[in-house]
Amino acid sequence: MRICFLLKVRPEKVEEYKARHAQIWPEMLEALSLSGWRNYSIFLGPDGLLVGYLEADDFEKCRAAMKTYAVNARWQAEMSTFFEGMPGEADDNMHPLEEVFHLD
């Protein structure tokens, strides 16, 4: 299944957010992979609009699996100040958009 979601990065934090993602911790990358996240991409506009895309067999299971990794809790804590209007962790606010077309 393909998943696309939107989040909002604080505009004043866009450059720092990009810099942090240029150096994602190796253990975070491993946890994502082991949890079933595939073909994961993040796109970010200059206004802070974030578009995430990934492929997974079961997105809810993938998110639940990530919560079992200590590295995810550390990453979420560090990244929490980057987002606007979001209660809790970013992972909990990834609400998949409905796919209405796919060129296959």
Catalytic residues: 21
CA distance 97 to 45: 18
Burial classification of residue 100, based on how many CB atoms lie within 10 Å of its CB (0-12 exposed, 13-18 middle, 19 or more buried): exposed
Distances (CA, A) of 22 to 17, 19, 55, 96: 9, 5, 21, 24
* 41: β partners: 53
